[in-house]
A and B are shown apart, each in its own frame.
Chain A
């Protein structure tokens, strides 16, 4: 997957190029806004990581222009500023996500992949090389085909269970609140009291998949790698 990294700090960009490369991305580096614009115009990228504070042409301007030219491009904005206004400005200018420096690389990677999943309806969790990624345990979740399998064996899921699993997977390692589940099930969905029942069923079906659903007291549920 081709990724544009626009970051002017030499130390940071050097490290990011290496880390993103290792994660399976083909990275092009732009040290300033002018080069970034040039590259964006010339090549097709699957995603872009943009630093707000770029020399020559600042990040927000590059973003706005890129948005006009390529509305579908997922852009994650990096910045040292984290005031509310800056966040809002970034998102208003067209950023899809926002990360403050310094950050943890796994977080950057996870967010990038989340952005990519939205635009590319492929096997969820698949890395650039294809196949199940480590965080997914042994589960293969094909959203388009509506098929879930563990070690090749298909798991039978009712529509509600499917929606529930999909939501948990999308929010992997994050707490999913009961309200979110009810919202995902949509109007005409089950009563909130039924959530526990479905969670229970899903837990049984996920046994042996390397994934587990944790109950977080007072907050909701979380899908994580099984201990």
Chain B
């Protein structure tokens, strides 16, 4: 069913906002109805006011008619001067009157009082029945009641014996009354409308608040946080929406997990053939005496080693991502002891590469630095930092690993005096996956990306700093341990 064009335009005018739409739907009809009600009320009130005034005018005409009695061939007008004065005295509410018999032939009152409108005089006017009409006198609007009264014997000389009694009253008072009625009804009604508007507006706001809360919850999400959204005390419709979103998140989570499992499995599967490749190449190198072939075989071997390294790094990276990392147990660790172990493991390799690898002594009287985290991941992070130093500092360089506290954070620092990374932009860029600062050597560009991921899983960060005159400081900063159950993801 297509919506009417007008509705479309209306929706467009509200800019598609639910808030505005609701306001429009609720307030516009209300305002229209208010207007109609006000007009109707005014109309009704005015009619009754007019009817009231007309009734009093009618009564006045009858009273006045009774004061004029036929005597013989003349008329006896029993209207004392005092009464006339009273009638004519009120300055605010001028009452005009005229008695004429035959009708139009002035006898008493205000000669200038306009005659009843022509239709009333055409033919035989109704007798003893007052008629009402609006007229003006000296620019003043008047309401006139006109009463045709027969005088004398009925049925004899009708024209001569007809008396017209007219009483006129300024319409100003009627208009004033109408205005007062309008004011007294419209004003409270307006107040009601204003109150209703405020209540409606507040109601809409309260009603839509859960939507705003849901939006805030979603907006404040970290990009790779796929846990379900918890929405408390929300109305059915919003809960349904949140539920649908959570379902979607769940599906995405499952898809991401499946992908991760696949990558993990694939990497594991790659390892055995790579091991075979490596071993075969090693044997071939040993048995071979042809120097050219030896050079080629060496390249093949290098490639195999590189591939193996890449596979390992890929696996570590998948293990460092939020979903997988969240499944690892977190424990309270002695950071210095952990770093010591990892550094000691790397010493033989460092010596082979001609690197002097060692550790800084802890400052005097320093207490053990503790962190809460996954031992496996933190070891990998430190190992990657040391590995980088061994690879890139160059033969003869000195690499020192230190563990200390800095401004409340626990810092693991691997400092070398090798060529370093002089360009600050590059020092930032190398944390991205597959970005290397150099194309020499068999690195794969994942080491620092791994360190950064692991740092983030522990609520910390990783950074590179230059050393003068030359060298690089690779730092892993970790927050102090929090209460169990409040670990970062």
Contact = CB atoms under 8 A, between A and B. Distances in A.
Interface of A: 9-12, 14-16, 18-19, 22, 53, 80-82, 84, 100-103, 105, 173-175, 177, 214, 216-220, 222, 224
Interface in B264-294: 268-269, 271-280, 282-283, 286
A19 B286 CA distance: 10
B277 A11 contact: yes
18 contacts: A9-B273, A11-B280, A12-B275, A15-B276, A19-B283, A53-B272, A80-B269, A81-B268, A102-B274, A103-B275, A175-B344, A175-B345, A214-B351, A217-B358, A218-B400, A219-B340, A219-B358, A222-B351
Given A102-B308, A216-B357, A219-B347, A19 B271 contact: no
A111 B360 CA distance: 30
A19 B282 contact: yes
Nearest first, the 3 A-B pairs at minimum CB distance are A217-B358, A218-B359, A11-B276
Contacts of B361: 218
B274 A101 contact: yes
Contacts of B315: 82
Contacts of B344: 174-175, 177, 216, 219-220
B400 A217 contact: yes
B442 interface: no
A6 B311 CA distance: 24
Nearest to A10: B276
A9 B286 contact: no
Nearest to B311: A102
A175 B316 CA distance: 25
A141 B350 CA distance: 27
Contact of A80 (B268, B277, B343, B376): B268
B347 A15 contact: no
A171 to B, nearest CB: 10
Nearest to A8: B272
Contact of A84 (B345, B357, B376): B376
B340 A177 contact: yes
A149 to B, nearest CB: 27
Nearest to A53: B272
B145 interface: no
B348 interface: yes
Contact of B279 (A15, A80, A173, A214): A15
A108 B273 CA distance: 17
B304 interface: yes
Given A11-B273, A12-B275, 18 more contacts: A9-B275, A9-B276, A11-B277, A14-B280, A15-B283, A19-B279, A80-B275, A100-B271, A102-B278, A102-B279, A102-B308, A174-B348, A175-B348, A217-B356, A217-B358, A219-B344, A222-B348, A224-B351
Interface in B424-440: none
A49 to B, nearest CB: 12
A175 B347 contact: yes
Contact of A216 (B277, B347, B376): B347
A81 B266 CA distance: 11
Give the most central of A14, A16, A101, A102: most B CB within 10 Å.
A102
A14 B277 CA distance: 11
B298 to A, nearest CB: 15
A98 to B, nearest CB: 14
Interface string B360-399: 1100000000000000100000000000000000000000
A116 B348 CA distance: 22
A100 B267 CA distance: 13
B351 to A, nearest CB: 7
A222 B280 contact: no
Contacts of B269: 80
Given A14-B280, A22-B286, A219-B340, A9 B347 contact: no
A124 B25 CA distance: 93
A130 to B, nearest CB: 23
B447 to A, nearest CB: 17
A225 to B, nearest CB: 10
Nearest to A106: B282
Contacts of A173: 348
A26 to B, nearest CB: 18
A182 to B, nearest CB: 15
Given A177-B340, A217-B359, A105 B347 contact: no
Give the most central of A10, A105, A173, A217: most B CB within 10 Å.
A217
A84 B271 CA distance: 17
Contacts of B304: 102
Contacts of A220: 344
B68 to A, nearest CB: 123
Nearest to B278: A102
A23 B315 CA distance: 32
Contacts of A101: 271-272, 274-275
A175 B349 CA distance: 11
Contacts of B286: 22
A18 B283 contact: yes
A135 B189 CA distance: 105
Contacts of B401: 218
B343 A15 contact: no
A195 to B, nearest CB: 15
Contact of B271 (A15, A102, A214, A222): A102
A216 B358 contact: yes
Contacts of B345: 175
B360 to A, nearest CB: 6
A12 B279 contact: yes
A104 to B, nearest CB: 8
A48 B347 CA distance: 29
Interface string B164-207: 00000000000000000000000000000000000000000000
A219 B359 contact: yes
A80 B312 CA distance: 10
Contacts of B271: 80, 100-102
A224 to B, nearest CB: 7
Contacts of B278: 102
Interface in B125-169: none
